Structure 1
């Protein structure tokens, strides 16, 4: 009897969570296709076949909806990437795994589209770029910084400014491709090319920071 009661009480929650995920899926598609300025809650609600009340009860403003879309994407990525930081594994192995994962995510079609969208909307909505940075890149930099500090404490790396070093490493990875790919000047590097880019970044980074 107790089991049946639990099942009955959990069903509405499951249904509500499923609806929230559906709304975020539709909103993400709209933001990527039309940009922030070109998307409206009314349009998104119509496409999702949901009432505006369903949106506003979960996301009071369009900015809240956008944040939730980015938060969901970056939460998954952050958890996946943070799991790569194994303190007793060889540094080169850990940095390579992290670098390849970061570059693959950075070069993903939806990420590139989102960056272009944010660039177009930043004049009217400068807070969106800050929001994306705080929820995405800043979390990656923070996780990498903490890992580097741990390696310093174990005397595997020389003394360093961990945040600056994290920026250096990620800069080595994306500097070769970011501008050209984002502007559409050159195609995205394939998997083999991405691996070569990361290997070079790891070699240069360790040459500068290994004791």
Structure 2
């Protein structure tokens, strides 16, 4: 049965994401995407009038999917500090996933030509993660909002180094299957993240 409406749109987006990741933005044509999605060029252009518009829609779809996989810090543990640790660990775990790492590489490659789209992709992966973490630091750990933003940015920066540069430069192998959250403690050094959290958190008034 032929796909129609929203089902077809989502199928095109998933197909385009794979095509962009495998062949790059420039080398991926709308004709190739239509053929790969097994739909007509007319249907493709009815949903996405340009390749730039399609790429922007792919970024928005990644936003939804990545947010669902990350969830919010409070969902990781009833203990506020441990929730931070496991949330940051999940972020590192997902950065190693080939689908995420290759999309980061693609965003960097297209930053000069499509700066707004590259910025949007950065916000999807890093901005939203930092904002959700900062909100948790405010509500669960009592930090002032301005301080929480600083701590969240510092912690994420420390947590992803040196993993992220190594992934971007191909020095660390990518994980082809989406990492399961049940393997978090095996895949990520959570003790290291606990130490980093202790470093960046301001001392409590009673300390």
TM-score interval, normalised by the smaller of the two chains:
0.7 to 0.9
Equivalent residue for 2:197, pick from 178, 192, 205: 205
Matches within 5 A, 1:14-25: 15-25=4-14
* Cα shift at 1:137: 1.7
CA positional deviation for 1:130: 0.7
Q: Are the aligned partners of 1:84 and 1:98 in contact in 2 as well (CA < 8 Å)?
A: yes
Instruction: Check if 1:32 corresponds to 2:24.
Output: no
Structure 1 unpaired stretches of 5+: 1-11
Alignment of 1:164-175 (within 5 A): 164-175=150-161
2 CA distance for matches of 1:76 and 1:25?
11
Q: Distance in 1 between matches of 2:144 and 2:14?
A: 45
CA distance in 2, matches of 1:82, 1:192: 17
TM-score, normalising length from structure 1? 0.79
Mean Cα deviation higher: 123-132 or 87-96: 87-96
Q: Distance in 1 between matches of 2:37 and 2:194?
A: 44
Q: Once the 2 structures are TM-superposed, how far is the Cα of residue 125 of structure 1 from its aligned partner?
A: 2.5
Rounded to whole Å, the distance in 2 between the matches of 1:33 and 1:46 is 15
- Describe the SS at the equivalent of 1:161: helix
Contact 2:77 2:83 survives alignment (8 Å): no
Of 94, 106, 111, which residue of structure 2 is paired with 1:117? Answer: 106
